[in-house]
């Protein structure tokens, strides 16, 4: 899935585009599952960890998002738990293996508002090492006017911060946080709007600033995202109260800090290990 040039681009820019990684038949089936999920139709009977939008209840102008749909839909699970993605993420991040931290099902229909620029790692004080590497898979052709994923080139090299800041859902100025960060870092702000074909993927670093603007096109923008941690990651109890720790610290065990593979499965590891059953 990755060439030597891809690894170099990732190191330099904080992201790289590859693909296609999914075939057309699978893409069509995944789009159909999106409709079910946002109606609250959960195939396995297990609810996702976070549901930020439901049909008939939520603001239709907001971007629709669900976290950990793999727990509730077998087709989503078969896609995001693929060992190919785990191996690719581990290579890019320099880890011995990769485990699922969470997935995202994201749907931005025409007219939907923006998602604010942020850095994933800033939300992750609840585990250590506090690192994430993500794979953003387009299920529709994306355009700059359609609210595609935007990344600030090279921003993973800027100084890091302890806590997330800024509004994530529908901020008035979705780029204000990254503009302030660039000024603080004394860096030139180079924002790249990724125009991908359906089935292509963008891998990005956990410290890379990213967000997306409003969908001003007449087309839907659906994406499936894997957010991975190192296979060696462990809970950090001192960080449970920050970022999204209050959501995922519920899976911590009483007697140790191991991350239970029932909730954070290992997709690929250099010795050939993979969580049984996935």
Q: What is the pLDDT along the chain (278 residues), one digit of tens a residue?
A: 899 999 999 999 999 999 899 999 999 999 999 999 999 999 999 999 999 999 999 999 999 999 999 999 999 999 999 999 999 999 999 999 999 999 999 999 999 999 999 999 999 999 999 999 999 999 999 999 999 999 999 999 999 976 677 788 889 999 999 999 999 999 999 999 999 999 999 999 999 999 999 999 999 999 999 999 999 999 999 999 999 999 999 999 999 999 999 999 999 999 999 999 99
**Which domains are assigned to the chain?**
4-269 (2.60.120.620)
Task: Compute the residue count for the chain.
Answer: 278
What pLDDT, on a 0 to 100 scale, did the predictor assign at position 7? 97
What pLDDT, on a 0 to 100 scale, did the predictor assign at position 96? 98
Cα 225 from Cα 139, distance rounded (Å): 10
Cα 31 from Cα 107, distance rounded (Å): 10
What pLDDT, on a 0 to 100 scale, did the predictor assign at position 1? 85
CA 237 to chain centre: 23
Question: Which residues are within 8 A (CB) of 125 and not within 5 positions of it... i.e. 6 or more apart?
Answer: 162, 163, 236, 238, 239, 242, 243, 245
Question: Do residues 245 and 139 make contact, with C-beta atoms less than 8 angstroms apart?
Answer: no
Cα 250 from Cα 225, distance rounded (Å): 22
What pLDDT, on a 0 to 100 scale, did the predictor assign at position 162? 66
3-state SS, the chain, equals CCCHHHHHHHHHHCEEEECCCCCHHHHHHHHHHHHHHCCCCCCCCCCCCEECCCCCCCCCCCCEEEECHHHCCHHHHHHHCCHHHHHHHHHHHCCCEEEEEEEEEEEECCCCCCEEEECHHHHCCCEECCCCEEEEEECCCCCHHHCCEEEECCHHHCCCCCCCCCCCECCCCCCHHHHHHHHHHCCCCCEEECCCCCCCEEEEECCCCEEECCCCCCCCEEEEEEEEEECCCEECHHHCCCCCHHHHHHHCCCCCCECCCCCCCEEEECCCCCCCCC
Q: Beginning with the edge strand found earlier in the chain, give each strand of the sheet holding 210-212 in spatial order.
A: 115-118, 210-212, 149-152, 191-193
- Nearest Cα residue to 211 out of 157, 171, 244, 246: 171
What pLDDT, on a 0 to 100 scale, did the predictor assign at position 49? 97
10 Å CB burial of residue 172 (0-12, 13-18, 19+) is exposed
């Amino acid at each position: 899935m990755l060439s030597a040039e891809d690894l170099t681009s990732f190191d330099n820019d904080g992201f790289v585009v590859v693909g296609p990684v999914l075939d057309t038949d699978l893409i069509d089936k995944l789009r159909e599952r999106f409709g079910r999920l946002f109606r609250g139709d959960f195939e396995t009977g297990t609810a996702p960890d976070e549901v930020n939008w439901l049909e008939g209840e939520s603001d239709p102008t907001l971007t629709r998002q669900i976290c950990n749909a793999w727990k509730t839909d077998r087709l989503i699970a078969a896609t995001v738990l693929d060992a190919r993605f785990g191996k690719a993420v581990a290579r890019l991040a320099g880890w011995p293996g990769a485990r699922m931290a969470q997935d995202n099902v994201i749907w931005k229909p025409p007219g939907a508002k923006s998602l604010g620029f942020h850095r994933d790692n800033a939300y992750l004080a609840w585990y250590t090492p506090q690192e994430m590497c993500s794979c953003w898979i387009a299920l529709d052709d994306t355009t700059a006017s359609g609210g595609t994923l935007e990344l600030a080139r090279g921003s993973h090299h800027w100084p890091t911060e302890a806590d997330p800041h800024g509004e994530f859902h529908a901020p008035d100025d979705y780029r204000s946080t990254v503009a302030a960060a660039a000024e603080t870092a004394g860096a030139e702000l180079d924002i790249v709007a990724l125009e991908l074909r359906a089935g292509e993927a963008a891998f990005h670093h956990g410290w890379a600033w990213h967000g997306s603007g409003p969908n001003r096109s007449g087309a839907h923008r659906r994406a499936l995202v894997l957010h991975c941690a190192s296979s060696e990651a462990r809970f950090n109890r001192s960080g449970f109260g920050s970022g999204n720790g209050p959501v995922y610290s519920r899976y911590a065990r009483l007697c140790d800090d191991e991350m239970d593979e029932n909730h954070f499965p290992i997709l690929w590891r250099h010795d050939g290990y993979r969580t049984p059953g996935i």
